[in-house]
A and B are shown apart, each in its own frame.
Chain A
Amino acid sequence: MPLYILACRVLQSMMEPYLREANIPATFMEYGFHRTPQLMTPALQEELDRITESSVFIIGYGLCGNGLAGLKAGRHTLIVPRADDCITLLLGSYQSYITEFTAEPGTYYLTKGWLESGSHPLKEYRELLEKYDKETADWIMDEQYRNYKRVVLVASNQEELDAYRHKAREVADFCAERWGYRYEELVGSDEFVKKLVTVAFQLTESTDDFLVIPPGGEVKQEMYWR
């Protein structure tokens, strides 16, 4: 059965090394659905429905604020990571995510994907300044970001940390000055993504880490509860 990947752009760099080896056609969607989960399902559905031959689709998305809920497999089989959001995928396991979440719920994560093609507070502030006066831009930023306590740069290895530290520090310094965030670095793991791309397509039923949505099925929020 043909195999496809449909994933968020923030996971692209982590997936690509494995994709090249396996030669699986992949579509990476714009990251902006993070802010509008209600537009995510229809956009992904369109991509799935476009392929007329029954196929296996590896979905590179977390549940993303229910953005994935309601996605219908149609004639395909979907392989979906059982992760609330992409941070779980970037940290390498559900357990790592929960450990970090418990340690500090007020964490703003930065990653290679987010720094390159996503958004972050500094970028958003610059965009707001183009649209509003400084007092208004400052107020909007404070409303959205004052509750976080730390910025964490997550990378899949030390080299990637070193490569993105400069960019991440720029964001972190901005956040430290405005809201007193602390800056930390974390070597995540591509374990989850690797399994998703290289072995999960062989699954016939859901596991702790992956949901298998058979033809006619649909992604539902309850499937993620643990």
Chain B
Amino acid sequence: MSDALVQISNAVIEGRVKDIPSLTNTALSSGLTAKDILDKGLMPGMDVIGAEFKKGKKFVPEVLLSARTMQASLDILKPLLAQAGEKMAGKVIIGTVKGDLHDIGKSLVGMMLEGAGFEVVNLGKDVPPEKFVDAVKKEKPDIVAMSALLTTTMRSMGHTVTALKEAGLRESVKIMIGGAPVTVDFAKQIGADAYAANAPAAAELAKKLINSN
């Protein structure tokens, strides 16, 4: 792999926000495409930090800084990705469910989805089922993605699935869920389509869900 991409991966892993704009620009001027930088530099870096977090070797501050680093690079790459005429992978509305104010993981998933080429509509935190329903009517997304960090609030994901069913919208979208206490069994139980264990996995999952249509 090119040295520039390794350096970009390392900057993401170490959360070196200040270094990333020049590394990104250097990589671009060396002839690498925006998509190369994204897929072979930024994403692998996020995979590493995600795995370290899971093992308890890295904590939220480090993950935040890695995400901030990736975002700074994405800001440079986005116009180029658009220019390259990459077709949008699909549209996702994303939010942290009612009663839950934890938005770090949700925002991280949003960023990874954007990186994977999705158009992301972020509904924010503490989002009640009816707001998800309204957003589905208005935005006509392919996917609804929900996050919860508390075992007390994750049940609100089930309420949202029910609300979408009652509004006759359930069949028009795929529903994916995630968040620290959420499990694949829980996803099955509430009638969601899929569960992702972390942000990079969520982006992969979203692509699979679109392709299964």
Contact = CB atoms under 8 A, between A and B. Distances in A.
B152 A101 contact: yes
Interface string A209-226: 000000000000100110
Contacts of A35: 59-60
B151 A105 contact: no
B212 to A, nearest CB: 27
Nearest to B186: A221
Given A105-B99, A105-B126, A221-B186, A128 B150 contact: no
Contact of A144 (B60, B99, B152): B60
Interface stretch (A36-44, A46-54, A192-200): A36-44
A224 B151 contact: yes
Contact of B65 (A39, A85, A140): A140
Contact of B100 (A39, A65, A66, A105): A105
Nearest to B124: A147
B56 A84 contact: no
A185 to B, nearest CB: 22
A104 to B, nearest CB: 10
Contacts of A101: 99, 152
Contacts of A36: 56, 59
A113 B125 CA distance: 29
A37 B150 CA distance: 12
A143 B100 CA distance: 15
Contact of B61 (A65, A128, A224): A128
Contact of A221 (B59, B104, B183): B183
B152 A84 contact: yes
Contacts of A85: 150-151
A136 interface: yes
Interface in B134-189: 149-153, 155, 180-181, 183, 186
A65 B180 contact: yes
B72 interface: no
Contacts of A66: 151, 180-181, 183
Interface in B5-61: 17, 54-56, 59-61
Nearest to B153: A105
The residue in A36, A37, A85, A105 that gathers the most chain B C-beta atoms within 10 A of its C-beta is: A105
B103 interface: yes
A105 to B, nearest CB: 5
A44 B150 CA distance: 21
Contacts of A74: none
4 nearest A-B residue pairs (beta carbon): A36-B56, A147-B101, A66-B181, A39-B56
Given A66-B183, A84-B152, A139-B68, 14 more contacts: A36-B56, A38-B54, A38-B55, A63-B151, A65-B180, A66-B151, A84-B150, A101-B99, A105-B100, A139-B64, A140-B61, A144-B60, A147-B102, A148-B101
17 contacts: A35-B60, A36-B59, A37-B180, A38-B54, A38-B55, A38-B56, A66-B180, A85-B151, A105-B99, A105-B101, A128-B61, A140-B61, A140-B65, A143-B64, A147-B101, A148-B101, A224-B151
Interface of B: 17, 54-56, 59-61, 64-65, 68, 99-104, 125-126, 149-153, 155, 180-181, 183, 186
